[in-house]
C-alpha cells in the first residue's frame, strides 16, 4: 500500500496542515519526519482552529495513529502543553507514538540559540530561538540525549546532569547565564516519566503497518527552500524537509514511497532573512498580508509576501520528485485585478536556465513575470474544478505547464472541506 509524503515547496507556511488533514482521512498513520516545535501547522475543523507544533496533523481522526519520527527533535514542555491543550478540547492523544530515536531539546540548546543569534548582529538568521539547531548539532556531535533514554530513569537523570554540567561551562565562557542544573534535572526527570508511555520503536511499527497493507502519510515541517542542503543557506532550517528527508526521518526506504505531494501557495511568503526574488513591497504586499493573515503561527512575525515563483516551484519538483501539487490559498487573490506569476530569472541581462545554486545570485536576479487577469469573485464555495473562474483556471494551467506535474488539489478557504479535488 502507498506511502505518501507531503512537503512544502516554498519557504514554509504553504498550508501543509490543511492538506495533511484532508489526506489523513484515507490513511491509518500520519508521521512527522523532521523539524521541531518551530512548525506552525494550522488545522480548521468546523468552527474550531488548532495550531500544532509537534503533534502530527492527523490527530483529529479517530482511526489515525500519529507518530513523531526519529528525525524530529522534541521539546518536552511544548509537547505536553500541546497534548494537554488538545485533550482539554476533546482531541485525544492517547494513540500518539514518539520514536525512541528522536532527540530531545534542553534549556542549554535554547541558551546556545540565543547567544549565537545575538552574536550575528545585523546578519541574524531569523531563528525561532527554540534550541532546534543546537539540538541537531548535538545529534551530529553524538552527544545528544534521545527519547528512548527515559526508559531507564536513573541513567536518564545522570545523562541530563552530565550534559547540563558540561554545557554550563561552555555557556558561561560565552557570556551566557548560569544554568540551574538541579532544577533542570528534576524537571526533566518528571517529564521523562510522563514521556515513557508514548516512547515506541516507531521504525518497526511503520514497517509492520506496511506489512498490514495500511496507508502511511509522512508530514514534513518547514519547506524545500529552508532545507539545510538545498535551501537559501545560511537562512535555512537545521534539517532536511525535502522528500528525501522523509526516509531518514522515519526509517522507511525510498521504494516504499509512491506519492509525493508538494504544497504551494498561490503566492509566496517567507519569514526571516534571505533572498526573495518575487518579493512584493508596498501596497500590494500589504494587501496579501492583510487578506491572507500572513503572520507566523509560532512567532507572530509578519511574513514577507511575494508573487508565485514557478522557477522555485519547478526546482522543488526536481528536488522532491513531486508527483503532484496542491495549490493553496487561491481565495486570497479573489480581489486582485492582475495576478502576476514569476516564470524566469534574468541576471546581467541574460536569462538563467534554472534556479541558481548560489543564494547570493538569487538575491541579484530580476524576475520575469507573466500577468494574468484576476477573477474578481469569491471562489470559497467552489468544489468542482469546472466551476472555477476561467482566469483562475488559467493560473492553474500555467503552473502545470511550467513545472510539469498536475495540480490535483486547490485550496479555496481555510476549512478542511474548502478544497477542490481533481479526479
13 is catalytic: yes
Give all strands (DSSP E) within 252-300, no chain letters. Answer: 257-265, 267-270
Rounded Cα gap, residues 107 and 98, in angstroms: 20
13, 113, 227, 256: the catalytic one is: 13
DSSP assignment, residue 25?
Answer: T
DSSP assignment, residue 354?
Answer: S
109 is catalytic: no
Residue 155: CB atoms within 10 Å? 11
Element containing residue 108 per DSSP (H, E): helix 107-119
Spell out a b/e string for 19-31, using b for 16 or more CB atoms within 10 Å of the CB, else e. Answer: bbbbbbeebbbbb
41, 103, 230, 315: the catalytic one is: 41
- Mention every residue, 6+ apart, whose C-beta is less than 8 A from residue 65: 28, 29, 30, 95, 96, 97
Report cis status (omega within 30 of 0) of the bond before 72: no
Give all strands (DSSP E) within 193-274, no chain letters. Answer: 199-200, 216-219, 257-265, 267-270
Rounded Cα gap, residues 217 and 100, in angstroms: 20
Residue in the block written with cell 481555510: 414
Q: Supply the Cα-derived Rg of the chain in whole angstroms.
A: 22
Q: Residues with catalytic annotation?
A: 13, 41
Amino acid at each position: 500500500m502507498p506511502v505518501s509524503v507531503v512537503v512544502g515547496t516554498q519557504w514554509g507556511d504553504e498550508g501543509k496542515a490543511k492538506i495533511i488533514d484532508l489526506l489523513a482521512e484515507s490513511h491509518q498513520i500520519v508521521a512527522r519526519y523532521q523539524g521541531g516545535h518551530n512548525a506552525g501547522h494550522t488545522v480548521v475543523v468546523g468552527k474550531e482552529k488548532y495550531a500544532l507544533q509537534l503533534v502530527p496533523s492527523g490527530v483529529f481522526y479517530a482511526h489515525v495513529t500519529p507518530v513523531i519520527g526519529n528525525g524530529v527533535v522534541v521539546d518536552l514542555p511544548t509537547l505536553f502543553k500541546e497534548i494537554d491543550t488538545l485533550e482539554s478540547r476533546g482531541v485525544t492523544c492517547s494513540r500518539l507514538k514518539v520514536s525512541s530515536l528522536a532527540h530531545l531539546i534542553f534549556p542549554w540548546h535554547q541558551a546556545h540559540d540565543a547567544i549565537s543569534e545575538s552574536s550575528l548582529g545585523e546578519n541574524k538568521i531569523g531563528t525561532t530561538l527554540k534550541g532546534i539547531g543546537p539540538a541537531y548539532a548535538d545529534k551530529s556531535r553524538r552527544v545528544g540525549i534521545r527519547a528512548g533514554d527515559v526508559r531507564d530513569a536513573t541513567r536518564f537523570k545522570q545523562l541530563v546532569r552530565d550534559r547540563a554540567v558540561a554545557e554550563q561551562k561552555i555557556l558561561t565562557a560565552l557570556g551566557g547565564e548560569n544554568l540551574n542544573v538541579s532544577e533542570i534535572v528534576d524537571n526533566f526527570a518528571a517529564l521523562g516519566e510522563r514521556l515513557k508511555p508514548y516512547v515506541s520503536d516507531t521504525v518497526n511499527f511503520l514497517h509492520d503497518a506496511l506489512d498490514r497493507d495500511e496507508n502511511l502519510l509522512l508530514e514534513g515541517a518547514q519547506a524545500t527552500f529552508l532545507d539545510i542542503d538545498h535551501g537559501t543557506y545560511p537562512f535555512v532550517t537545521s534539517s532536511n524537509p525535502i522528500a528525501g528527508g522523509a526516509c531518514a526521518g522515519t526509517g522507511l526506504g525510498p521504494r516504499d514511497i509512491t506519492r509525493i505531494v508538494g504544497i504551494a501557495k498561490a503566492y509566496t511568503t517567507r519569514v526571516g532573512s534571505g533572498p526573495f526574488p518575487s518579493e512584493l513591497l508596498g501596497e500590494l504586499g500589504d494587501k496579501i498580508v492583510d487578506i491572507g493573515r500572513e503572520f507566523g503561527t509560532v512567532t507572530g512575525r509578519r511574513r514577507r509576501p511575494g508573487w508565485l515563483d514557478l522557477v522555485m516551484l519547478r526546482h522543488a519538483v526536481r528536488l522532491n520528485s513531486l508527483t503532484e501539487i496542491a495549490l493553496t490559498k487561491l481565495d486570497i487573490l479573489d480581489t486582485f485585478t492582475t495576478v502576476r506569476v514569476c516564470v524566469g530569472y534574468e541576471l546581467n541581462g541574460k536569462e538563467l536556465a534554472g534556479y541558481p545554486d548560489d543564494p547570493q545570485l538569487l538575491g541579484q536576479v530580476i524576475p520575469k513575470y507573466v500577468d494574468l487577469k484576476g477573477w474578481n469573485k469569491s471562489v470559497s464555495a467552489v468544489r468542482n474544478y469546472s466551476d472555477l473562474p476561467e482566469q483562475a483556471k488559467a493560473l492553474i494551467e500555467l503552473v502545470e505547464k511550467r513545472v510539469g506535474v498536475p495540480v490535483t488539489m486547490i485550496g479555496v478557504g481555510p476549512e478542511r472541506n474548502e478544497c477542490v479535488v481533481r479526479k
